Amino acid sequence: MSNHWHRAIAELSAQGTAAWAAAQRADDAPGPVRPTAKVISNTVDTDYLRSARELLRAHLTDRRPPRRLPVARVWPCFRDLWEARAGNGRGGVWRAIPRCADLVQMRSAPPSDRLAAVVHQAEALQASLHGKRTMHRLYESYIPGPRSDAITELVGSGRSAPAMPGFPDPGHIVNRAFPRGSGRRIRPDRREEFNRLWSERSAVHTRARAFGDAVLALLVEDRMGGVAPQPGRLRGAGRWVRRERHLVPDRTKWPTKLNAYQAVALAGLAWLVLACTGLPLTFGKKADLLSHAPLLLLAACLIACTGIGLIIRHGPKMIKVPGIGAAVPGIAAALAAIVLWQGQGPVASYFFAGPYERYEREYANECLAASPYRRETVRSMIDDGVLTVTPLSGGTTLRLGPAEDGSTHPLRPQDRATRAVLDEYGC
C-alpha cells in the first residue's frame, strides 16, 4: 500500500472521530453554545461524507487518493456569516450525498460484504435526499371551517382549496406559489407518508456518519490489510469541536430599536463611509482616469462594502455605551468625514495638478518669480503635449513638457533655448 493511501485513510479516520465527537457535543453543549455546536456537527458530518465519497471513488477506479481531503473552510473574519449559512443548509450535506452514478459504480465493482454495507448506507442517504425533495409536495392550501377556533386552526382542519386549472396536484409548485386558500397544511390522506419522509430527512447526518464508517472499514480492509491506522491530521470544522466560543465568540448584538444617540452614531459612521467611497472617484477624476471608470466604480464599491461590513461587525460594540456616550463615535466619524470630504479635492489637485498649475508651482513662483516669465506677464498655451510660455515684453519662448492633465511628472525643457533661459535664472 502506498503512503498516499495511508495518509488519506488516517485523515478520514480523524474526520470520523471528530464527527461522532461533534454529534455528542451538539447534544451535551450548554445552551449559549448549542447552536454553534450544532452547526459544527453538521459541517463535520458533511466533511466526513464528502471525503469518504472522494476516497471511495478513487478506490473503485484504482486511482491515487487526493492529496487533501475536501473540507469546509472557516474564514476568520466571516465566522458569523459562515455559521448562519451553514446552519440554514445543514452544513451542505445535501450536496455531498452520493448520486445515482456513484451507486452504479459501487454496484458494478467486485462484490464483498464491506462494499455491500457501503451500498446500503448510500441507498439510505438517497432515501434521505428523496424525503427532503418530496416533503414539500405533501402540503396543500386549505380553507378553514366557518367555526374554526385556535385548536382546529392548529391542526389545519377545514376543506382543501381548489387547485389551479390544469394543475390537479395540490402539492404542485404552481398551487403552492398561488394558493387559493387562507392556510397551509399537510394533506390529510398523506400524513403517514409525511411522517416517514420526515424521519428519512432527519436521519441524514446519522446516515452520513454511518456511510463514512462503512467506507473507512472498506478501505482499511482492502488497502491496509485490516490494520486500522492511527487518526491523522484533522482539518476543517473538526478542529473547533468543544471550542465553540473561540470559533464564534459572544459579541454585542444590535439593539432592536435605536435611540436618538445611537441613531446619531450610526449616521456619522455612514457619512464617513460615504466620504471614503468618494476617494477613488475624486482622485480618478483629477488624475484623468475617467477612461477607467469601471475600475474606479469597482474600487468605490469595495470601499463601501468594507465600510458597511466594519459597521455591522463593530457597530454594536461602539454604540453600547448608555446615554450621550453612544453618540461619541458617530460625532468623531462625522468630523473625520467633513475633513475627508473637504480635503480630498485639494489633495488630489495638488498631486495631480494640470500643466498651468505645475508651471506656477515649479517655475513662476520659484526661480522665475523676478523674471519676465511670471504668470501675469506671459501668454501660455498647450500644443501637442508641450506648454509654450511667451513673455508679453518679448523674449525667448519657453517650451516645457510633458504638459498632460493629471500627470505627476515635473515640467522639463524641450529645447536648448528653454534650457539656456532656465540656467540663466538658476532653475
Output the DSSP codes for 142-188.
Answer: EE--TT--HHHHHHT-SEEPPPPTT---TTSHHHHHS-SSSEEEE-G
**Residue percentage of the chain with pLDDT more than 90:** 33
Distance CA 303, CA 86 (A): 27
pLDDT for residue 148: 54
Q: What is the mean pLDDT of the chain?
A: 85
Please, is 41 exposed, middle or buried when counting C-beta atoms within 10 Å of its C-beta (0-12, 13-18, 19+)?
buried
pLDDT at 395 (0 to 100): 78
Predicted confidence (pLDDT) per residue in 243-288, tens digit? 888 887 777 778 888 888 899 999 999 999 999 998 888 888 877 7
**Unique residue bearing C-alpha cell 386552526:** 153
Q: Which residue is listed with cell 387562507?
A: 182
What local confidence, expressed as pLDDT, does residue 390 receive?
82
Q: What is the dihedral of CA 158, 160, 161, 167, to 10 degrees?
A: 170
The pLDDT score that the predictor gives to residue 408 is 72
Per-residue pLDDT of 244-255, as tens digits, reads 888 877 777 788
Burial class (CB in 10 A: 0-12, 13-18, 19+), 114: middle
What's residue 75's pLDDT?
Answer: 74
Three-class SS of residue 404?
coil
End-to-end alpha-carbon separation of the chain, Å?
80
- Convert the pLDDT of each residue in 186-196 to its tens digit: 888 888 998 99
> Is residue 8 pLDDT above 70, yes or no?
yes
Question: 274, 54 in Cβ contact below 8 A?
Answer: no
Distances in Å between the alpha carbon of 213 and those of 9, 103, 281, 340? 11, 17, 57, 60
pLDDT at 318 over 90: no
DSSP string for residues in 335-357: HHHHHHHHHHHHHHHHHT--HHH
Kindly report the pTM of this predicted structure.
0.67
Whole-angstrom distance, CA of residue 276 vs CA of residue 306: 10
pLDDT value, residue 293: 80
**Is residue 79 classed as helix, strand or coil in its secondary structure?**
helix
Give pLDDT tens digits for 339-384.
Answer: 998 988 888 878 787 788 888 888 878 887 778 877 777 888 887 7
Specify the DSSP element, H or E, that contains 141: strand 139-143
State the Cα–Cα distance between residues 224 and 369, nearest whole angstrom. Answer: 89
Contact between 16 and 31 under an 8 Å Cβ cutoff? The reply is: no
Rg (CA), the chain: 35
**How many helices (H) and strands (E) in the chain?**
16, 7
In terms of phi and psi (left: phi > 0; alpha: psi -120 to 50; beta: otherwise), the region of 90 is left
Query: 131 with 86: CB under 8 angstroms?
Result: no
